[in-house]
Structure 1
Amino acid sequence: MPANNAVRDYLLTRRSVGSAFLKDPGPNAAELEQMLTIATRVPDHGKLTPWRLVVIEGDARRQAGDKLADIAARKIANIDAAGIEVERQRFLPAPLTIGVISSPKENPKVPEIEQLLSAGNVAFNLVHAAHALGFAASWVTRWYAFDPEAAAMLGTREGERFVGFVQIGTPSVVIEDRDRPDLANIVSHWA
Structure 2
Amino acid sequence: MDAITALHQRVSQSKLQAPAPDAQQLATLIRAATRAADHGNLQPWRFLIIEGDGLEKLGQLFANVAAAKKTDISQAELDRFKSMPLRAPMIIVAIAKCQAHPKVPQIEQLIAAGAAAQNIINASFALGLGAIWRTGDMAYDDTVKQALGLISNETLDEQIVGFIYIGTPVSSASLPREINPQDFFTAWTNE
Structures share fold, TM-score greater than 0.5: yes
Give the deviation of 1:60 after TM superposition.
Answer: 0.6
Q: Give the root-mean-square deviation of aligned CA atoms.
A: 1.7
Structure-to-structure mapping, 1:157-176, within 5 angstroms: 157-158=151-152, 159-176=157-174
Letter of the aligned partner of 1:6 in structure 2?
D
Task: Find the residue that maps to 1:103 and give its secondary structure.
Answer: strand
Aligned to 2:58: 64
CA distance change for structure 1 residues 185 and 34 in 2, over 3 Å: closer, same or farther?
closer
Contact 1:54 1:155 in 2 (8 A): no
Q: Distance in 2 between matches of 1:179 and 1:34?
A: 28
Aligned to 1:109: 103
Structure-to-structure mapping, 1:141-180, within 5 angstroms: 141-158=135-152, 159-180=157-178
Contact 1:51 1:101 in 2 (8 A): yes
Equivalent residue in structure 2 for 1:42, among 22, 36, 55: 36
CA distance change for structure 1 residues 36 and 80 in 2, over 3 Å: closer, same or farther?
same
Give the deviation of 1:91 after TM superposition.
Answer: 1.0
Give the deviation of 1:132 after TM superposition.
Answer: 2.4
Aligned to 1:86: 80
Equivalent residue in structure 2 for 1:120, among 103, 114, 117: 114
Contact 2:6 2:125 in 1 (8 A): no
Aligned to 1:185: 183
Task: Find the residue that maps to 2:86 and give its secondary structure.
Answer: coil
Letter of the aligned partner of 1:160 in structure 2?
E
Counting matched residue pairs gives 185
Task: Find the residue that maps to 1:152 and give its secondary structure.
Answer: helix
TM-score by length of 2: 0.89
Determine if the alignment matches structure 1 residue 135 to structure 2 residue 129.
yes
Equivalent residue in structure 2 for 1:17, among 3, 13, 18: 13
The percent of aligned pairs where both chains have the same amino acid is 36
Give the deviation of 1:78 after TM superposition.
Answer: 5.0
Task: Find the residue that maps to 1:162 and give its secondary structure.
Answer: strand
Alpha-carbon displacement from aligned partner over 1:36-61 (angstroms, at most 9, x marks no partner): 11111111111111111011111110
Task: Find the residue that maps to 1:90 and give its secondary structure.
Answer: helix
Letter of the aligned partner of 2:12 in structure 1?
S
Contact 1:96 1:168 in 2 (8 A): yes
Q: Distance in 1 between matches of 2:4 and 2:23?
A: 28
CA distance change for structure 1 residues 174 and 78 in 2, over 3 Å: closer, same or farther?
farther
Letter of the aligned partner of 1:75 in structure 2?
K
